[in-house]
Chains A and B, each alone.
Chain A
Amino acid sequence: MDVKVKILRYNPEVVDEAEWKTYSVTLQPTDRVLDALHKVKWEQDGTLTFRRSCAHGVCGSDAMRINGRNRLACKTLIKDLNPEKEITVEPIKGLPVLKDLVVDMEPFFDAYRSVMPFLVTSGHEPTRERIQSQADRDRFDDTTKCILCAACTTSCPVFWSDGQYFGPQAIVGAHRFIFDSRDEGTEQRLEILNDKEGVWRCRTTFNCTDACPRGIEVTKAIQEVKRALIFRRV
Chain B
Amino acid sequence: MQQHQYDVIIVGAGGAGMRAALESSKRTRTAVLTKLYPTRSHTGAAQGGMCAALANVEEDNWEWHTFDTVKGGDFLVDQDAAEVMCREAVDAVLDLEKMGLPFNRTAEGKIDQRFFGGHTRNHGEAVVRRSCFAADRTGHMILQTLYQQCIKQNVEFFNEYYVLDLLMTDGKASGVVAYELATGELHVFSAKSVIFASGGFGKVFRTTSNAHTLTGDGMGIVWRKGLPLEDMEFFQFHPTGLAGLGVLLSEAARGEGGILRNKDNERFMERYAPTVKDLAPRDMVARAMANEVREGRGCGPDGAYVMLDLTHLEPAHIDAKLPDITEFARTYLGVEPYTEQIPVFPTAHYAMGGIPTNIKGEALANNEDVIPGLYAAGEVACVSVHGANRLGTNSLLDINVFGRRAGIAAAEYAATASFEELPANPEAYVVELVEGLRNSTGQERIAAIRADLQATMDLNAQVYRTEGSLKQALVDIAALKERFKNVAVQDKGKRFNTDLLEAVELGFLLDLAEVLVVSALERKESRGGHFREDYDKRDDVNFMRHTMAYREVDADGNETIRLDYKPVVQTRYKPMERKY
In this assembly, does B498 line the interface, its C-beta being within 8 Å of a C-beta of chain A? yes
B38 to chain A, nearest CB (A): 10
**A98 near B495: Cβ-Cβ < 8 Å:** yes
**A148 near B490: Cβ-Cβ < 8 Å:** no
Collect the chain B residues with CB atoms within 8 Å of residue A230's CB.
Answer: none
In chain A, positions 146-186 with a C-beta closer than 8 Å to chain B are: 146-148, 177, 180, 182-183
Interface of chain A, helix or strand or loop or mixed? Answer: loop
Collect the chain B residues with CB atoms within 8 Å of residue A60's CB.
Answer: 39-40
A10 to chain B, nearest CB (A): 11
Can you name the residue of chain B whose Cβ is closest to the Cβ of A75?
A: B331
**B332 near A56: Cβ-Cβ < 8 Å:** yes
Collect the chain A residues with CB atoms within 8 Å of residue B129's CB.
Answer: none
Collect the chain B residues with CB atoms within 8 Å of residue A56's CB.
Answer: 45, 247, 328, 332
**A54 near B496: Cβ-Cβ < 8 Å:** no
Question: In the bound complex, how far is the Cα of B152 from the Cα of A121, in angstroms?
Answer: 12
**A14 near B212: Cβ-Cβ < 8 Å:** no
Residue in contact with A130 in the complex, picked from B98, B134, B137, CB distance below 8 Å = B98
Give how many A residues have a beta carbon under 8 Å from the other chain's beta carbons.
61
Residue in contact with B447 in the complex, picked from A42, A59, A77, A183, CB distance below 8 Å = A42
In this assembly, does B102 line the interface, its C-beta being within 8 Å of a C-beta of chain A? yes
In this assembly, does A129 line the interface, its C-beta being within 8 Å of a C-beta of chain B? yes
In chain B, positions 37-68 with a C-beta closer than 8 Å to chain A are: 37, 39-42, 44-45
Residue in contact with B40 in the complex, picked from A46, A53, A182, CB distance below 8 Å = A53
**A144 near B144: Cβ-Cβ < 8 Å:** yes
In chain B, positions 454-500 with a C-beta closer than 8 Å to chain A are: 488-491, 493-499
A118 to chain B, nearest CB (A): 4
**B495 near A130: Cβ-Cβ < 8 Å:** no
| One of B108-116, B391-399, B508-516 at the interface | B108-116
B79 to chain A, nearest CB (A): 28
**B447 near A12: Cβ-Cβ < 8 Å:** no
In this assembly, does B141 line the interface, its C-beta being within 8 Å of a C-beta of chain A? yes
Can you name the residue of chain B whose Cβ is closest to the Cβ of A129?
A: B97
**B490 near A47: Cβ-Cβ < 8 Å:** yes
Can you name the residue of chain B whose Cβ is closest to the Cβ of A144?
A: B102
Question: When each residue 86-121 of chain B gets 1 if its CB lies under 8 Å from chain A and 0 otherwise, what string results?
Answer: 000000011001111011111111111000000000
Can you name the residue of chain B whose Cβ is closest to the Cβ of A57?
A: B331
A81 to chain B, nearest CB (A): 14
**B151 near A13: Cβ-Cβ < 8 Å:** no
In this assembly, does A122 line the interface, its C-beta being within 8 Å of a C-beta of chain B? no
Can you name the residue of chain B whose Cβ is closest to the Cβ of A47?
A: B491
**A42 near B39: Cβ-Cβ < 8 Å:** no
Collect the chain B residues with CB atoms within 8 Å of residue A125's CB.
Answer: 98
**A119 near B182: Cβ-Cβ < 8 Å:** no
Question: When each residue 6-41 of chain A gets 1 if its CB lies under 8 Å from chain B and 0 otherwise, what string results?
Answer: 000001111000000000000000100000001001
In this assembly, does A220 line the interface, its C-beta being within 8 Å of a C-beta of chain B? no
Can you name the residue of chain A whose Cβ is closest to the Cβ of B209?
A: A56
Question: In the bound complex, how far is the Cα of B499 from the Cα of A49, in angstroms?
Answer: 8
Collect the chain A residues with CB atoms within 8 Å of residue B332's CB.
Answer: 30, 56, 77
Q: Contacts A53-B213, A55-B211, A59-B44 known; A47 to B493 CB distance under 8 Å?
A: yes
Collect the chain B residues with CB atoms within 8 Å of residue A47's CB.
Answer: 490-491, 493, 499
In this assembly, does B149 line the interface, its C-beta being within 8 Å of a C-beta of chain A? yes
**A128 near B151: Cβ-Cβ < 8 Å:** no
Collect the chain B residues with CB atoms within 8 Å of residue A13's CB.
Answer: 493-495
Collect the chain A residues with CB atoms within 8 Å of residue B491's CB.
Answer: 46-47, 49
**A129 near B100: Cβ-Cβ < 8 Å:** no
Can you name the residue of chain A whose Cβ is closest to the Cβ of B494?
A: A13
Residue in contact with B140 in the complex, picked from A14, A147, A180, CB distance below 8 Å = A147
Q: Contacts A54-B211, A131-B110 known; A118 to B499 CB distance under 8 Å?
A: no
Residue in contact with B148 in the complex, picked from A14, A45, A118, A141, CB distance below 8 Å = A118
Question: In the bound complex, how far is the Cα of B42 from the Cα of A145, in angstroms?
Answer: 15
A20 to chain B, nearest CB (A): 19
**A180 near B490: Cβ-Cβ < 8 Å:** no
Collect the chain A residues with CB atoms within 8 Å of residue B182's CB.
Answer: 98
Residue in contact with B151 in the complex, picked from A43, A52, A61, A118, CB distance below 8 Å = A118
Q: Contacts A58-B45, A98-B495 known; A141 to B102 CB distance under 8 Å?
A: yes
Collect the chain B residues with CB atoms within 8 Å of residue A38's CB.
Answer: 447
Question: In the bound complex, how far is the Cα of B208 from the Cα of A55, in angstroms?
Answer: 11
Collect the chain B residues with CB atoms within 8 Å of residue A11's CB.
Answer: 493, 495
Residue in contact with B39 in the complex, picked from A14, A131, A148, CB distance below 8 Å = A148
In this assembly, does B221 line the interface, its C-beta being within 8 Å of a C-beta of chain A? no
Collect the chain A residues with CB atoms within 8 Å of residue B106's CB.
Answer: 134
In this assembly, does B267 line the interface, its C-beta being within 8 Å of a C-beta of chain A? no
Choose among B94, B144, B497 the residue with the greatest number of A CB atoms under 10 Å from its CB: B144
**A59 near B39: Cβ-Cβ < 8 Å:** yes
Can you name the residue of chain B whose Cβ is closest to the Cβ of A109?
A: B37
Question: In the bound complex, how far is the Cα of B498 from the Cα of A46, in angstroms?
Answer: 8
Could you list some 6 contacts between A and B, CB below 8 A? Answer: A30-B332, A49-B498, A55-B212, A119-B98, A119-B99, A177-B100
Interface residues of B (CB under 8 A from A): 36-37, 39-42, 44-45, 93-94, 97-100, 102-112, 134-135, 137, 140-141, 144, 148-149, 151-152, 182, 211-213, 247, 324, 328, 331-334, 445-447, 488-491, 493-499
List 12 extra interface pairs beyond A49-B491, A144-B102, CB under 8 A.
A12-B495, A41-B447, A46-B499, A53-B40, A54-B44, A55-B247, A57-B328, A59-B44, A98-B495, A118-B99, A118-B149, A141-B102
Interface residues of A (CB under 8 A from B): 11-14, 30, 38, 41-43, 45-47, 49-61, 75, 77, 98-100, 102, 105, 109, 113, 116-119, 121, 125-126, 128-134, 136-137, 140-141, 144-148, 177, 180, 182-183
Q: Which A-B residue pairs are the 3 nearest by beta carbons?
A: A119-B100, A46-B490, A42-B447
